[in-house]
Structure 1
Amino acid sequence: MKITLVTVGKIKEKFYTDAIGEYSKRLSRYCKLEIIQVPDEKTPDSAGEAVERQIREKEGERILSSIKDGAYMIALAIDGENLDSVQLSEKINGLGIGGVSQIVFVIGGSLGLSDAVLKRADYRLSFSKMTFPHQLMRVILLEQVYRSYRIINGEPYHK
C-alpha cells in the first residue's frame, strides 16, 4: 500500500521535522510513504471571508493537482467522522483488502480546505472538534497511521 500525505505549507520547527522523520522511518516497514508539501498562501491579518475563500481555492488547486486519479482520498476535516485507533486501522485494512493501492490523506492550511477538495474526498476524517496547528497534525496523523499498521499486524501498541 502507498500512503501519501498532501499538506499545505512547509514544516518550520525542527522538532516537528524530527518527529515526522521518525514516524516515516517506522512506517517504511509497512507501506510506501510519500509526503507532498504544496505552497501555502500568505493570509493578510484583516482578510475577509472572500479573501480567505480565494486563498483556500488557490491552495485547493495545488492540493488537487498532486492527487492521482484512482487514489482514495481522505480529507482531514473538523466535520468528518471521528474514529478511534482500531476503527482507523480497520478502515485502512479494509481499503487495502478492497483493492485500493493508494490512500491520500490531505491536511489543509491554516484556513482549512476548499470546497473543491472536500468534494473530491472519498472520506472525511476528524481527529477532534478542536483546532490543531496543521504542522502538528502531520505528526499526529503519521503516528495514527503507524499505530494502525501495528494493530493490523497484531503487534503491540500502547492503549
Structure 2
Amino acid sequence: MKVEIISVGKLKENFWKSAINEYAKRLKVFCNFSILEVKDEKIADNISDNEITKIKEIEGKRILSRIKQDSFIFCLDMRGKEYSSEKFAARLNKLATYDTSKFVFIIGGSLGLSQEVLNMADERVSFGKFTLPHQLMRVVLTEQIYRSFMINNGRVYHK
C-alpha cells in the first residue's frame, strides 16, 4: 500500500519535522509512506478575492502535477466529511480491500485549496471546524493515518 501526503509549503520548525519523522518511521511497517511539499506563494497583506483565487490556482496546479492518476484522493476541507478515528480506519480499510492500494491526502496552503483540486477529489475530509496551521494539520493527519493502521491491525495504540 502507498500513502502520500501532498502539502503546500515546507515545514520549517524542527518540532514539526520531528513529529512527522516519528510517525513516518512507524508507518513504514504498514505502507510506503511519503510526503511531497509543493511551493507556496507569498501572500501580501490585504489581498483581494481575485488575488486569493489566483494564488490558490497557482498552488493547485502544482498539486495537480504531482498526483498519480490511479490514486484515491482525499482533500482536507473544512466542509468535508467528519470521521471518528474508528470510522476513518474502517473507511481506509474498505478502500484498500475493495478499491485501491494508493492513497493521496492533500493539504492546502494558508488560503486553502483551489476549486479545481477540490473538484477532482474522490472524497473531502474535515478534521472539524477549527482552523489549524497547515504544518500542525500535517502532523495530525499523519498521526491519524498511523492510528488507522494500528486500529485495522488490532494493535494496542488506540484507546
Give the TM bin, normalised by the shorter chain: over 0.9
SS state of the match for residue 130, structure 2? coil
Instruction: Find the aligned partners of 1:158 and 1:113 in 2 and give their Cα distance.
Output: 31
Instruction: Find the aligned partners of 2:65 and 2:91 in 1 and give their Cα distance.
Output: 25
State the TM-score, normalized to the length of structure 2: 0.98
Paired position in structure 2 for 1:21: 21
Instruction: Find the aligned partners of 2:13 and 2:154 in 1 and give their Cα distance.
Output: 34
Paired position in structure 1 for 2:11: 11
Instruction: Find the aligned partners of 1:44 and 1:71 in 2 and give their Cα distance.
Output: 34
Instruction: Find the aligned partners of 1:101 and 1:151 in 2 and give their Cα distance.
Output: 17
Paired position in structure 1 for 2:67: 67
Q: How many residues are paired up?
A: 159
State the TM-score, normalized to the length of structure 1: 0.98
Paired position in structure 2 for 1:43: 43
Instruction: Find the aligned partners of 2:99 and 2:57 in 1 and give their Cα distance.
Output: 31
Question: Structure 2: any 5+ residue segments left out of the alignment?
Answer: none
Question: Structure 1: any 5+ residue segments left out of the alignment?
Answer: none
Q: CA deviation at 1:34?
A: 1.3
Paired position in structure 1 for 2:34: 34
SS state of the match for residue 130, structure 1? coil
Paired position in structure 1 for 2:143: 143
* 4+ residue segments displaced more than 4 Å: none
Paired position in structure 2 for 1:109: 109
The percent identity for this pair of structures is: 48
Paired position in structure 1 for 2:92: 92
